Amino acid sequence: MAIARTARPPRSLSSSGFEIRRRTWPLDHVHARMPLETAAALGRVIGPEAARLAWLDTETTGLAGGTGTYVFLVGIAAVDDRDFVLTQYFLRHLSAEAEMLEVLRDDLRTFDGLVTFNGARFDLPLLQTRFLLSRIRYEFENAPHLDVMSLARRLWHRRLGGYSMGLLEQMVLHVDRFEDVPGWMIPSLYVQYLTCGNLDLLEPVFAHNAADLLSLISLHGLTGEMVTHPSEVQLPVDWSGLGRLLDQRGNCDAAAECYRTALADESDPGARRRTVTALARYYRRRRERQALLELWEAEFMPRILPAWQVSERLAMIWEWEFRVAPAALEHTERALAEDGLSTPHVSRLLRRRDRLLRKSSAQLDRPFSGSK
Amino acid sequence: MMLRQILDRLHSDPSRSSRIAAWRELPATPARFATFPAGLEPLLAKTLARRGITQLYTHQAESYDAVRGGQNIAVVTPTASGKTLCYNLPVLDHILKEPATRALYLFPTKALSADQVDELQGLIRTLERDIKTFTYDGDTPASARRAIRAAGHVVVTNPDMLHTAILPHHTKWLRLFENLRYVVIDELHQYRGVFGSHVGNVIRRLRRICRFYGSDPQFICTSATIGNPQEHAERLIGAPVHLIADSGAPRGEKVIAFINPPVLSRELGIRRDTLMEVRDLTGELIRNGIPAIVFGRSRLAAELLTTYLRDHAVHHGRAPESIQGYRAGYLPSERRAIERGLREGEIKAVAATNALELGIDIGQLSAAVLAGYPGTIASTWQQMGRAGRTEELSAAFLVATSDPLDQYIVHHPQYFFGHSPEQALINPDNLLVLSSHLKCAAFELPIGETEAYSPAGIHDILLHLQSQKIVHEDGGTWHYVADRFPAEDVSLRSASTENVVIIDETEPVPQVIGEIDLPAAPAFVHEDAIYIHLGQQYHVDRLDWDQRKAYVRRVNVDYYTDAEIAVAITVLNEDGAARDALPRAHGEVVVTYRPTIFKKLKLFTQENVGWGKITLPETTIHTTAAWWVLPPALTTFELDRLQGALTAVSHALLNIAPVYVMCDPRDLGRVYEIRSPHTALPTIYLYERAPGGVGLAERMFRLHDHLIRAAIELIEACECEAGCPSCVGPILEVGNTGKADALAVLRGGLAVPAYAPISSVPA
């Protein structure tokens, strides 16, 4: 476990059917090379907006979802005055589910924002189902929620080939889990516990849940750090994805910088086209026509995007930004010559050529038209 | 000529009247009306009036009253008797009175639900009220699902979706289940046998989820004519049902005629080809502008009939488009267009398979022609019911093939007219079916110790599931604890849902023209097959079995192809055996369907003009079977007679077994071997068609004495002379000695044991 030291030993409040375990870390405890307090503060930049935030992760009897999947462990992490507090709600007996959920509900009500990893699709709908089945009124939909997985997908999927917590810990957070129980084993361990009652079986699961939450806090903080200081990011990251994230947050200059960085080594035609297009949009909004032109002209060289496509874009720029029809026509002709005829978009190119032919002759005629 | 004149000529022309094997005239019945019920929402009455309905048929009013009175109902009235109003009326009425009301409509097939939604939506549009109906099936886009779950007043779906998508996620359907007042089950008769037993359990699960949400919906069922509609409905929904079978809809006069094509060769017993006979008969109807539906027994027959009738139509100066085909495998858009064409009268005749037997609305046709006996009394009535007008005369013709069964029916019309239609049998308490649905039920809601899920008792099954770590008992309640999503492992239908897509490569841009279900694909789209789609021929250039794609090209040739499939059975494992007078066993088997050759047959003449080999992997189903070994002492016949005896005994067993193991005859298949590689003796197998089996084989094995005794009683009680479909099979199939030999074999099999069984010894 990466948990170096704990200020207080684990403590548990045990009632008959469920159990609440608390464990705390000092605020300066370092996980993923970052003090928890710093991570929590950095994370606030990216949301959600809340006065009292909780990080939440569950362990379940299955991954399939639906009504027959029990949530047997709910970990809720939060910052209090002096400590970082993890509260784990553990279901000892399935028949005590409603009892436990009621206490959990009361606890959840003390928070006004949640952070999860894949909570939007998994943990929260599942808990919602459990509340409903136990006839307990609680609506997750009302609380602000950030699913860090959606950020992770953008920032790392293309770069790392995945965005599971395990992969991110390895490649981004640099957290090693020793003797961690693999996620797929957890449901069967719990069923084993149900039949034999030996709680020791589940100690690794409690630790797994705690480790997941610590990494969630760190990842949340890290994404906050990345959007705050994009220029200082040293980690492997999908620059295009970061750019888009920044774009969404209104930080367009930083986004543009990310797109430029991304283009330095983007060799996938689809991704490259999307990134160039995003950067082009930035230039167009700022009316930097020359930069726009240079951006697309430079795309002939790497030979990643098809030449007809680059030519077509240049034709569009000449037609609509510079309004010089003959230059646009020249690029259109070039697009058609460069294999444009065999693309499915050939009719679009032909229409453009016809229009530009008309425009060109009009532009050529114009000097004389006034002297009638 | 009018239909009546055509019928008169059939009668009077000696060359044709000699073909008539039976002639029944059913008199017209006038309509019986009832006024709108007193409690009916005035807006609904007004809307119906605007659509031309100013009063109800008596059975519609009876349905409304029974439903308002809180009863479950089963409506069994003929096609086109206004059955849909029997459920739409009380449902819409209640929604108008209480807008929170929800209803669930279940249809066995997608095509049918699309049709009914159209009709319902038409009615709602005229109402001008915000009543939402949605179809929830595999084609529903994910984006629309949320809205359907929250806001649909009427959710239209099928049992499969209910089973895998709705019930296991019932919390997402909170609004539906809290307010569910009505469950409509259309085409109740479809839910029989193993499929029906599964659906019965899906309904049990539905009802317990409703109880959880505090609702207790009423069931409104409709069914085609079957022998036991009320009993069947009650078993399926697990509650008392009020039967409404007295139709108030008017019926015009109807003539039913059995036609037997003339004998061409008495020695060989060959009759004129049924399809040609049907073509001539239907051609005459078409020439005279009488809309007709023709039923073929197979997809190939339907396509050949389409081809022949089109050819005939063109000969007589009519547009080929006025003749259409209709069968499984057409694109949904094609089907819709054909249905519309029939309703609106642009299409004069359709050659269909039983895909059109269902309640798909094609308007009212004047004549139905059945090319061959469909196999059961019930489906014969259903197909004949497709012709029927409210006032005018209609006619239904059954044109026999040379098959023994067909010949029996036309020679013994009383067998058809005198017997009630077959019963629909289900057994929701079948151990395997029950336990697989118990898993799903536990997944959906924990099962209480005292919960009455099934009258069969479930405690032992739950204990067994606990030992497999699927459920866990805690505090008197059984909780689902396995990792898997159970509904995905339980398929309601034994037929695979996979299919082969048929791609036409005639034009530069390939086009999907249809599809075919996987089990049927080897026979229809093997390489060099002529695949016929809507009367157009296609040559199959290539069948990519792995990709499930057949590449075809439009051709125009004068032949079609017919494939032969060999069925064989291999015993894998004997789970139990008994060595009595009639040794028997049950166990695991593999049934193999091996496409062997295809014949090229000339259109119209059926002349054999060539053949080819089919090289395709055989399809196998791993299932269970029960088998009986005929010891030499019982079968001292020569080969021909032995074959007849085996056919007869297996036929009798197949006739009696479904009643004892509560399944549909289609759930079982039979194979017999003159000399079985497994037993080295003449052997009869009855195998389960559901992959893996659901325990029917073992039950047949255990019920042995009852089964044999029942078979003997069946044969003894049968009034036929030497064999008929009800006992050992038609005489042409079993031979003159078949019936007597079967009796002898079965009686020998019951040889009284030398000692009394222990159970009969007084304590």
pLDDT in tens, B350-407: 999 888 866 677 877 899 999 999 888 888 998 998 888 778 899 999 999 877 778 8
Q: What angle do CA B407, B409, B413 make, to 5 degrees?
A: 130
Assigned token pair, B275: 């399809």
The CA distance from B167 to B230, in Å, is 26
Q: Return all residues near B172 (Cβ < 8 A) that are at least 6 apart.
A: A129, B149
3-class SS letters over B666-684: HHEEEEEECCCCCCCCCEE
Q: Rounded to 5 degrees, what are φ and ψ at A135? A: 55, 45
The burial class, CB within 10 Å (0-12 / 13-18 / 19+), for B100 is: exposed
The residue among B472, B497, B494, B495 whose CA lies nearest residue B483 is B472
The CA distance from A258 to A231, in Å, is 8
Q: Do A67 and B477 touch (CB under 8 A)?
A: no
Q: Do B168 and A66 touch (CB under 8 A)?
A: yes
Asked if residue B173 has pLDDT above 60, the reply is yes
The β-bridge partners of B349 are: B292, B323
Sign of CA dihedral A233, A234, A235, A237: positive
- Please, which pLDDT band fits residue B581 given cuts at 50, 70 and 90? confident
What are B635-645's pLDDT values in tens digits? 778 888 898 99
Least confident of B92-96, B293-297, B500-504, B602-606: B602-606
- Please, which pLDDT band fits residue B759 given cuts at 50, 70 and 90? very low
Chain A contacts to B (CB-CB under 8 A): 61-68, 70, 93-95, 128-129, 132-133, 187-188, 190-191, 194-195
- Please, which pLDDT band fits residue B756 given cuts at 50, 70 and 90? very low
- Please, which pLDDT band fits residue A19 given cuts at 50, 70 and 90? very high
Q: Do B483 and A63 touch (CB under 8 A)?
A: yes
Q: Which residue has the tokens 């897509």?
A: B501
ipTM attached to this prediction: 0.81
3-state secondary structure at position A55: strand
Query: How does B297-334 read in b/e, with b if 16+ C-beta sit within 10 Å?
Result: bbbbbbbbbbbbbbbbbeeeebeeebbbbbbbbbeeeb
Average the pLDDT over B209-223 and give the result: 96
Asked if residue B480 has pLDDT above 90, the reply is yes
The CA distance from A169 to A51, in Å, is 28
Q: Do B171 and A64 touch (CB under 8 A)?
A: no
Q: Rounded to 5 degrees, what are φ and ψ at A10? A: -55, 145
Cβ(B369)–Cβ(B6) below 8 Å? no
pLDDT for res A5: 39
What are B619-629's pLDDT values in tens digits? 888 889 999 99
Chain B residues in contact with A132 (beta carbon < 8 A): 171, 174
3-state secondary structure at position B159: helix
Nearest CA in chain A to B166: A66
What are A158-177's pLDDT values in tens digits? 888 899 998 999 888 898 88
From residue B722, give the alpha-carbon distance in Å to each of B407, B409, B412, B545: 14, 14, 13, 46
Instruction: Tell me the shortest Cα–Cα distance from A217 to chain B, in angstroms.
Output: 28
The CA distance from A149 to A304, in Å, is 30
Q: Count the alpha carbons within 13 Å of A78 in the hemisphere toward its beta carbon.
A: 18
Instruction: Name which of A63, A65, A194 is nearest B481 (Cβ-Cβ).
Output: A194
Nearest CA in chain A to B164: A66
Euclidean distance between the first and final Cα of chain B, in Å?
A: 80
Helices in B51-109 by DSSP H: which ranges?
58-68, 83-97
Cβ(B689)–Cβ(B732) below 8 Å? no
Cβ(B707)–Cβ(B750) below 8 Å? no
pLDDT for res B96: 95
Asked if residue B49 has pLDDT above 50, the reply is yes
B599: left (phi over 0), alpha (psi -120 to 50) or beta: beta
Nearest CA in chain A to B169: A66
Highest average pLDDT, of A191-200, B487-496, B662-671, comes from: A191-200
- Please, which pLDDT band fits residue A2 given cuts at 50, 70 and 90? very low
Chain B contacts to A (CB-CB under 8 A): 168-172, 174, 442-446, 469, 472, 474-477, 479-486
Asked if residue B752 has pLDDT above 60, the reply is no
Number of Cβ within a 10 Å radius of residue A348: 13
Q: Do A67 and B443 touch (CB under 8 A)?
A: yes
Instruction: Name which of B172, B444, B477 is nearest A95 (Cβ-Cβ).
Output: B477
3-state secondary structure at position B349: strand
The burial class, CB within 10 Å (0-12 / 13-18 / 19+), for A135 is: exposed
Helices in B213-298 by DSSP H: which ranges?
229-237, 274-287
Cβ(B619)–Cβ(B611) below 8 Å? no
The burial class, CB within 10 Å (0-12 / 13-18 / 19+), for B406 is: buried
Query: How does A296-323 read in b/e, with b if 16+ C-beta sit within 10 Å?
Result: beebeeeebbbbbbbbbbbbbbbbebee
Chain B residues in contact with A99 (beta carbon < 8 A): none
pLDDT for res B760: 39
Asked if residue A281 has pLDDT above 50, the reply is yes
Nearest CA in chain A to B174: A132
Share of chain B above pLDDT 90, in %: 48
Instruction: Tell me the shortest Cα–Cα distance from B183 to chain A, in angstroms.
Output: 22
pLDDT for res B761: 36
The β-bridge partners of A19 are: A14, A90
The CA distance from A112 to A146, in Å, is 12
Asked if residue B526 has pLDDT above 80, the reply is yes
**AA letter at B427:** N
- Please, which pLDDT band fits residue B699 given cuts at 50, 70 and 90? confident
Average the pLDDT over B743-759 and give the result: 65
pLDDT for res B365: 86
The burial class, CB within 10 Å (0-12 / 13-18 / 19+), for B663 is: buried
The CA distance from A102 to B213, in Å, is 20
Asked if residue B115 has pLDDT above 90, the reply is no
Query: Whole-number mean pLDDT of chain B?
Result: 88
- Which residue did the predictor score with more confidence, A343 or B209? B209
The CA distance from B565 to A45, in Å, is 69
Average the pLDDT over A58-76 and give the result: 93
Q: Rounded to 5 degrees, what are φ and ψ at A86? A: -110, 125
Q: Do A67 and B485 touch (CB under 8 A)?
A: no
The CA distance from B301 to B584, in Å, is 39
pLDDT for res B662: 78
Number of Cβ within a 10 Å radius of residue B352: 27
pLDDT for res A59: 96
What are A82-137's pLDDT values in tens digits? 899 999 999 999 999 999 999 999 999 999 999 999 999 999 999 999 999 999 99
3-state secondary structure at position B642: helix
Query: Whole-number mean pLDDT of chain A?
Result: 88
pLDDT for res A3: 40
Asked if residue B76 has pLDDT above 90, the reply is yes
Instruction: Name which of B172, B443, B472 is nearest A94 (Cβ-Cβ).
Output: B472
- Please, which pLDDT band fits residue A4 given cuts at 50, 70 and 90? very low
Cβ(A224)–Cβ(A148) below 8 Å? no
Average the pLDDT over B493-507 and give the result: 83
- The alpha carbon of A73 is separated from its chain's Cα centroid by a whole number of angstroms, namely 25
Asked if residue A371 has pLDDT above 50, the reply is no
Candidates A59, A67, A138: best to mutate against B (most CBs of B within 10 A) is: A67
Look up the pTM and report it: 0.84
Asked if residue B569 has pLDDT above 50, the reply is yes
From residue A44, give the alpha-carbon distance in Å to each of A54, A249, B170, B242: 11, 14, 36, 64
Instruction: Tell me the shortest Cα–Cα distance from A344 to chain B, in angstroms.
Output: 13
Asked if residue A188 has pLDDT above 90, the reply is yes
Asked if residue B659 has pLDDT above 90, the reply is no
3-class SS letters over B537-593: EEEEEEEECCCCEEEEEEECCCEEEEEEEEEEEEEEEEEEEECCCCCEEEEEEEEEE
Query: How does A104-132 read in b/e, with b if 16+ C-beta sit within 10 Å?
Result: beebbeebbbbbbbbbeebbbbbbbbbbb
What are B421-435's pLDDT values in tens digits? 888 888 899 888 999
The CA distance from B550 to B500, in Å, is 7
- Please, which pLDDT band fits residue B762 given cuts at 50, 70 and 90? very low
Asked if residue B679 has pLDDT above 50, the reply is yes
From residue A313, give the alpha-carbon distance in Å to each of A275, A302, B472: 14, 16, 64
pLDDT for res A7: 40
Size of interface A-B (CB pairs under 8 A): 69
Sign of CA dihedral A47, A50, A55, A57: negative
Assigned token pair, B518: 């996987």
Instruction: Estimate the crossing angle of helix B3-12 against helix B274-287, to 10 degrees.
Output: 130
Average the pLDDT over A222-242 and give the result: 87
Chain B residues in contact with A128 (beta carbon < 8 A): 171
Instruction: Name which of B443, B475, B483 is nearest A95 (Cβ-Cβ).
Output: B475
Chain B residues in contact with A190 (beta carbon < 8 A): 481
The β-bridge partners of B178 are: none
